[in-house]
Amino acid sequence: MSSNPAEIRQQLVAMVRDRTGDPDALVSEPVALPGHAGLSYSFELDWRSSAGPVHEKLVIRLAPAGVRAAGPADVARQGRIMASLADTAVPVPPIRWIDEDPRWFGRPFFVGGFVAGEKLGELNITAEQARPMVQSTVETLAALHAVDWQSRRDAWGEPAALAGEMQRLDHLLDRDTLDPATVARAPLAREALRSSLPAAPRIGCVHGDFQWSNLLMRDARVVAVIDWELAQVGATLLDLGWLCLFSDPDSWHSPMLIPARLPSLDEIVAIYTQSARFPVSIGEVRWFQAFSAYRFGVITAFNLMLHRRGKRHDPMWEEIGKSAPRLFERALELLS
């Protein structure tokens, strides 16, 4: 189960020759792409179809080596979810192949088309230039939440309850290995959230990590939503609360952790409310933003612990970890 690009290239050649039926198909050296819940590489494929030569730029996403293909590591599920959105208003990379057979790479994978685009946080633009990108982003989110999830059960699965989301976070928070100073206000935020849990939130397709670094832009519009490892059928406002969290300077120790020149949270919520094909409760939006702050605070504290104990080295969490106490405090502010 290699992660060596040269070996992956050899495995890719064998796989694409089988899939295309061209015994002479060739691939370029794979180029590693960023990501935490799997390995992604871009590559170029040249092969001959019955109509003539074909050149494609593609991306392969592999499950992490030695990890059970479940949850965020289930890359085949991610591929099926993206494929299920091909006929909707949600822009996703076109899916070429999905396979759980280990004979090619020793683990599941999917191959999709490479989509050229830029991330808003990486652009040096004005607030005026950012505005249509924000509009497109929020309209895309509303379009995802309008997708008929019932007809896509085979890819997405059954709905997940909010109470279950809270319980999963309990498993991360209730550990004596977490830094007490980091999680000091977390139990208060948890109890405030649990005591005000929305009784019957609207259910739909949820990306799970809908924020600026998972959106590719071109010509001031979203051209692809990527990284679907946390997707589920659940409360749709989970996504809006998450986007608000990653647009809120008051939630973070450092403003460098979110893009600059974004409109206010009220404007983002107003765009969503206008774009959605269903009623939106502003009170629930505030609860889901608070839940998002709590959720990311818990995830941060857990990953910071793993890093410091040498179980999953990633110095990025030292910087992000400085925001965890503020995230729990922000959750309490939003709920008060």
Q: Which pLDDT does position 277 carry in this prediction?
A: 84
* Residue 127 CB neighbour total at 10 angstroms: 11
Q: Which pLDDT does position 71 carry in this prediction?
A: 85
How far is the CA of 281 from the CAs of 47, 201, 210, 228, 285, in angstroms? 52, 10, 19, 26, 6
Q: How far is CA 236 from the centre of its chain?
A: 14
The stretches in the chain having pLDDT less than 50 are 1, 37
Q: Which pLDDT does position 22 carry in this prediction?
A: 98
Residues 6+ away with beta carbon under 8 Å from 148:
none
Same domain (yes/no): 270, 146: yes
Residues 6+ away with beta carbon under 8 Å from 223:
91, 115, 116, 117, 216, 217
Q: Which pLDDT does position 3 carry in this prediction?
A: 67
Q: Residue 203 carries which DSSP code?
A: E
Same domain (yes/no): 108, 143: no
pLDDT digit string (tens) for 55-81? 999 999 998 877 787 888 899 999 999
Same domain (yes/no): 133, 164: yes
SS3 248: coil
The CATH number of the domain where 16 resides is what? 3.30.200.20
- Of 91, 113, 135, the residue at which a domain comes to its end is 113
Q: Which pLDDT does position 34 carry in this prediction?
A: 75
Question: pTM for this one?
Answer: 0.94
Instruction: Tell me the angle at which helices 265-275 and 127-145 cross, rounded to the nearest 10 degrees.
Output: 40
Q: Which pLDDT does position 63 carry in this prediction?
A: 87
- The tokens describing 178, both together, are 């977490």
Count of the separate structural domains present in the chain? 2
pLDDT digit string (tens) for 259-271? 989 999 999 999 9
- The tokens describing 203, both together, are 């259910």
Domain assignment of residue 36, given as a range:
5-113
Same domain (yes/no): 136, 15: no
Q: Which pLDDT does position 35 carry in this prediction?
A: 61
